[in-house]
């Protein structure tokens, strides 16, 4: 955020011990094949809730025909691959169940041929590394073993996502497994219409790099999307510039940091509100009460403000200046040029994690 604001986010989130990379899956026939060339199979082709999912000789039946519709689920016989009892523990079995949209039914197929449940941060696993027919499948800490390697069906929609955003909901959940529910994926998707050039400019690689860069800075500012408002309440009265002709109509202490890039100061609430057609000067609380509004303020800053830098973060990414220049534009006056290298490293680490999840290189010029 702008010069003069102390950043809230210094929290390094322990997201994923292993860097997973989304990739186009294989096996166009819809089978998921793995250990000993056998397939993920619904026991007895039974579509009842709770039916075991197991390893079995590949036979081309509907019990082994899985679809990946692009919403993070894997489906067979009209139902979803589901972790029993929403467990996140190693050894929790998987089953077939009505699709509910729950985190226990979200899966990410990676370039390393893992199938990951982001909520548990665990991999689809053949129990006891046993290749015998009818061996039950489960989730387990990802080890890279052969009993966790799969070829899975490609997602629908030609490699895009249902939202049109380069980050799928499953990938978003993988990036932020412990996020505050306020920071919803749907809220972010709704906000994208305000800045149609965001993550839609340049090559597919650049689009994904920009999305990763935005989310990495957001990660740092909010403690991995945990904090909606600035945590240091003692700072709240400091963000009113009475030198502005419009003053601080919501109150001296009303313009503290809120949202994904912690919008702060009365003049920023005024400028963002004017740009978005929302009266944030008089009602700054919208940024902490409406998820889409919060995301829009983050995108407003990203796409239109230089901050203490010389370019907008959007321009830094689409014109090849690199991730380091996004840091400079957001909080460079307090972090760049050796002022706080640990904070810079926190942002870079998140960016590298997120580009890995999206399957692209981070590019050059990562530091400021």
Which residue positions in the chain have pLDDT lower than 70? 1-29, 70-71, 110-112, 153-163
* Model pLDDT for residues 206-243, shown as the tens digit of each residue: 999 999 999 999 999 999 999 999 999 999 999 999 99
Per the annotation, the verdict on 230 as an active-site residue is no
The structure tokens listed for 54 are: 């197991």
For helices 323-335 and 204-222, give the axis angle rounded to 10 degrees: 20
208-358: what CATH class? mainly alpha
- Are 255 and 264 in contact, with CB atoms under 8 Å apart? yes
**CB proximity list for 158: less than 8 A, separation 6 or greater:** none
**pTM for this model (two decimals):** 0.59
C-alpha to C-alpha distance for 87 and 119, rounded to whole angstroms: 9
pLDDT at residue 72, as a whole number: 76
pLDDT of residue 5: 38
Residue 172 CA to residue 185 CA, distance in Å, equals: 7
d(Cα 220, Cα 343) in Å, to the nearest integer?
8
Q: Return the structure tokens found at 133.
A: 């027919």
**pLDDT value of residue 102:** 84
- What pLDDT was estimated at residue 153? 66
The domain segmentation of the chain, as residue ranges, is 35-148, 208-358
Give the pLDDT score at 275.
Answer: 94
Do domains 35-148 and 208-358 share one topology? The answer is: no
Residues in CB range of 321: below 8 A, 6 or more apart = 311, 315, 365
pLDDT at 296: 96
Q: Identify the active-site residue in 210, 221, 230, 335.
A: 221
Tell me, rounded to whole angstroms, the distance of Cα 142 from its chain centroid.
20
Residues 6+ apart with CB under 8 A from 365: 321, 322, 323, 324, 325
How are strands ordered across the β-sheet holding 39-42? Answer: 39-42, 53-56, 135-140, 122-126, 115-117, 108-109
CATH number of 35-148: 2.80.10.50
Residue in 338, 365, 107, 108 with CA at minimum distance from that of residue 213: 365
What pLDDT is attached to residue 73? 84
Rounded distance, CA 74 to CA 163, Å?
18
Sign of CA dihedral 185, 80, 17, 360: negative
């Amino acid at each position: 955020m702008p010069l003069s604001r102390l950043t809230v986010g210094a929290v390094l989130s322990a997201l994923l011990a292993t860097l997973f990379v989304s990739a186009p899956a294989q096996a166009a026939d819809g089978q998921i094949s793995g250990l000993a060339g056998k397939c993920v199979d619904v026991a007895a082709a039974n579509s009842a809730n709770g039916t075991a999912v197991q390893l079995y000789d590949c036979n081309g039946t509907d019990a082994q025909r899985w679809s990946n519709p692009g919403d993070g689920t894997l489906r067979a016989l009209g139902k979803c691959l589901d972790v029993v009892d929403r467990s996140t523990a190693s050894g929790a079995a998987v089953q077939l169940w009505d699709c509910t949209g729950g985190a226990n039914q979200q899966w990410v197929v990676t370039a390393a041929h893992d199938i990951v449940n982001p909520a548990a941060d665990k991999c689809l696993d053949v129990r006891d590394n046993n290749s015998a027919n009818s061996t039950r499948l489960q989730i387990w800490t990802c080890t890279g073993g052969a009993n966790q390697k799969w070829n899975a069906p490609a997602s629908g929609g030609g490699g895009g996502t249902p939202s049109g955003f380069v980050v799928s909901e499953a990938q978003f959940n993988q990036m932020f497994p412990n996020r505050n529910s306020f920071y919803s994926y749907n809220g972010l998707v709704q906000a994208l219409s305000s800045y149609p050039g965001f993550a839609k400019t340049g090559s597919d690689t650049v689009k994904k790099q920009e999305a990763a860069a935005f989310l990495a800075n957001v990660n740092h500012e909010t403690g991995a999307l945990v904090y909606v408002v600035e945590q240091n309440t003692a700072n709240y009265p400091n963000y009113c510039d009475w030198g502005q002709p419009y003053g601080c109509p919501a109150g001296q202490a009303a313009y503290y940091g809120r949202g994904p890039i912690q919008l702060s100061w009365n003049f920023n609430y005024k400028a963002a509100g004017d740009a978005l057609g929302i009266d944030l000067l008089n009602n700054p609380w919208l940024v902490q009460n409406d998820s889409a509004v919060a995301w829009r303020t983050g995108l407003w800053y990203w796409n239109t403000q230089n901050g203490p830098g010389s370019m907008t973060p959007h321009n830094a990414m689409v014109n090849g200046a690199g991730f380091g220049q996004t840091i400079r534009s957001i909080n460079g006056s307090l972090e760049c040029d050796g002022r706080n290298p640990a904070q810079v490293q926190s942002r870079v680490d998140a960016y590298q994690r997120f580009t890995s999840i999206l399957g692209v290189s981070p590019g050059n010029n990562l530091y400021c």
